[in-house]
Structure 1
Amino acid sequence: MYPIDLHVHSTMSDGTFTPREIAFYAKAKGLQTIALTDHDTISGVLECQEAGNLVNLKVIAGIEFSVNYFDKEVHMLGYFIDIHNEKLTSHLENLVVSRHERNLKMLEKLGELGFPMEYSDIATSEKNALLTRAHFAQAMLKKGYVKNIDDAFNLYLGNGKPAFIPREHVDFKECIDLIHEIGGVAVIAHPGLYKSFTDEKLDKFIKTLAEAGLDGIETIYPKYSKEQEEEFLYLCKKYNLLPTGGSDFHGENKKDLDIGKGYGKTFVPSTLLDALETLL
């Protein structure tokens, strides 16, 4: 049994390490396998896999979709996906257009709030990178509009804040079906972060996803308490789902959170990966 990390982000979405850097860094940290799960993009997968091959690190092709669950945004992880599938690439191209339109509206909102910025301010040098709210936060920090990244989200960019613009999301059932259609395994990301769920609602949430074809739950996550981990393992057994785990590594955008270790105590055993691979 060895450590793995099935939830990692790069500069192709809202992380600060390039896909290549992530592979080298993960290996240096003692990991044998990672999944690159950028938000709504697979642009960094091949680069990360090629770098992984150089250092004998297995890199699973993954993605983290933002999906709609009865008007609530939740995140769905897809593992072992076929990144060359035409239906997937078409879906992601539509998301790029949707995000671009949203970004323009957020820039307009920020200007109205007294924080003028151009599109070039949030742009990145990474080709095909998906621009996210993290890029807005970095730009606001660079211009001196906020003291830190957390302030940018807590005061302006977070859900319900003055500069927040909601965007369209694919339905959770459609997302699960898409992941399966492109050869992948569908796992609900960090359910412990969806604060509006009581225990009863959380059970119903997982039950509904399981009935829609969900394969697993992210049961190991840096912000979980021991009680939460036990609860999610119980739900896995109750609804015949597989447990997974990851750090949700974002580099400098999540300070003090490291790949493979989270805040120091996270450990995702390779046995979880072995179980996931039985679904392929």
Structure 2
Amino acid sequence: MIPRIDLHIHSTYSDGIKTPAEILNEVREKNLAAFSITDHDNAGAYFEARELLKEGDPELITGVELSAGKGGEDLHILGYFFDPNSAFLASELERFREIRNQRGALMLQELRKLGIDIPLDMVIDIVGKSAIGRPHVANAMVQAGAVNNMDEAFIKYIGLEKPAYIPKANLTPKDAIDLIHSAGGLAFLAHPRIAGASKYIREFVGYGLDGIEIYHPYHFSTHIKAYSKLTEKLLILGCGGSDYHGREGKYGAIGSQPAPYDLLSAMKTKVKIKD
């Protein structure tokens, strides 16, 4: 059996429902060779998971998913193999989380104008170790009885262009790539099929993008083949993962994507070259 990897997993440090310990247990059960917890603007799960590793466990790779924007579109840049002790990266991620919290508070203000009063403390209790995101607000709305489910919260209130939606204050893609590189890491464009991100690949390679996510639940066999050929043509790397969040209908289960270990081997080679 070809060793498989999952380099795109979300935990309770962002908008996932499982703790790093629970993720590690599932990674073990799925017999994965390596994994990375790539929370939104938060690398804290790495430290918690690292403390739980035992001899013979799958490899744990540092990971993060940075929010970026271009042309009014939300894009995500994955970072791997960065120094987890980078003071600059840590301070920037903390700043991003504070911006997320401010955005969340503004969404609650807009909801109050619509007659929906969601206490900030309720949302903070749901957030835990993360920063406020729309899924946390939607969860609080369900708990408060304002909507029947999270989908209704997005469709009626906090989805794009809905009455309580507040736009993100994102990094530029170049700044996101530069930030990952500043900590010695590799930068990848996440799920390029989503939000029309594919059209930016060549431009981002010019900024120093190291690769693209090839394997993803929203990438079918035709996309995987096309993206694999593109990485060869542009002399960039590929990565892949489940984009696991744990919510029903949200991307894939841990280990669900057939991302081969060879992708990780190529990433390791480039990291050594960069050193």
If the length of structure 1 is used for normalisation, what is the TM-score?
Answer: 0.90
Asked if structure 2 preserves the Cα contact closer than 8 Å seen for 1:16 and 1:253, the reply is no
Asked if structure 1 preserves the Cα contact closer than 8 Å seen for 2:243 and 2:251, the reply is no
In the alignment, residue 238 of structure 1 is paired with which amino acid? Answer: K
1:43-192 correspondence to structure 2 within 5 Å:
43-53=44-54, 56-124=57-125, 128-192=129-193
Q: Secondary structure at the match of 2:154?
A: helix
- Following superposition, the deviation at residue 54 of structure 1 comes to 6.3
Asked if structure 2 preserves the Cα contact closer than 8 Å seen for 1:15 and 1:253, the reply is no
Where does residue 4 of structure 1 map in the other structure? 5
1:222-233 correspondence to structure 2 within 5 Å:
222-233=217-228
Point out the more displaced range, 165-174 or 149-158. 149-158
CA–CA separation in structure 2 for the residues paired with 1:125 and 1:45: 21
Where does residue 218 of structure 1 map in the other structure? 213
- Following superposition, the deviation at residue 125 of structure 1 comes to 6.5
CA–CA separation in structure 1 for the residues paired with 2:106 and 2:133: 13
Unaligned segments of structure 2, at least 5 residues = none
Unaligned segments of structure 1, at least 5 residues = none
Counting matched residue pairs gives 270
Asked if structure 2 preserves the Cα contact closer than 8 Å seen for 1:179 and 1:186, the reply is yes
Identity %, equivalent residues = 36
Alpha carbons of 1:227 and 1:55: their partners in 2 closer, same or farther (altered >3 Å)?
A: same
In the alignment, residue 247 of structure 1 is paired with which amino acid? Answer: S
Where does residue 267 of structure 2 map in the other structure? 276
Alpha carbons of 1:70 and 1:256: their partners in 2 closer, same or farther (altered >3 Å)?
A: closer
1:243-262 correspondence to structure 2 within 5 Å:
243-252=238-247, 254=249, 257-261=252-256
Asked if structure 1 preserves the Cα contact closer than 8 Å seen for 2:68 and 2:74, the reply is yes
Alpha carbons of 1:42 and 1:256: their partners in 2 closer, same or farther (altered >3 Å)?
A: closer
1:242-269 deviation line (CA, Å, top 9, x unaligned): 11111000113645831111xxxx2111
Q: Secondary structure at the match of 2:7?
A: strand
Asked if structure 2 preserves the Cα contact closer than 8 Å seen for 1:42 and 1:62, the reply is yes
Of 204, 207, 213, the residue aligned with 2:202 is 207
- Following superposition, the deviation at residue 80 of structure 1 comes to 1.0
1:99-140 deviation line (CA, Å, top 9, x unaligned): 121111000111122221011111136754222111111111
CA–CA separation in structure 2 for the residues paired with 1:130 and 1:52: 26
Of 249, 267, 275, the residue aligned with 2:258 is 267
Asked if structure 2 preserves the Cα contact closer than 8 Å seen for 1:24 and 1:51, the reply is no
Point out the more displaced range, 65-74 or 178-187. 65-74
In the alignment, residue 258 of structure 1 is paired with which amino acid? Answer: A
CA–CA separation in structure 2 for the residues paired with 1:154 and 1:229: 31
Asked if structure 1 preserves the Cα contact closer than 8 Å seen for 2:245 and 2:251, the reply is no
Asked if structure 2 preserves the Cα contact closer than 8 Å seen for 1:5 and 1:259, the reply is yes
Asked if structure 2 preserves the Cα contact closer than 8 Å seen for 1:6 and 1:246, the reply is yes
If the length of structure 2 is used for normalisation, what is the TM-score?
Answer: 0.91
Structure 1 residue runs of 4 or more that deviate by more than 6 Å after TM superposition: none
CA–CA separation in structure 2 for the residues paired with 1:182 and 1:168: 22
In the alignment, residue 143 of structure 1 is paired with which amino acid? Answer: A
Q: Secondary structure at the match of 1:73?
A: strand
Q: Secondary structure at the match of 1:53?
A: coil
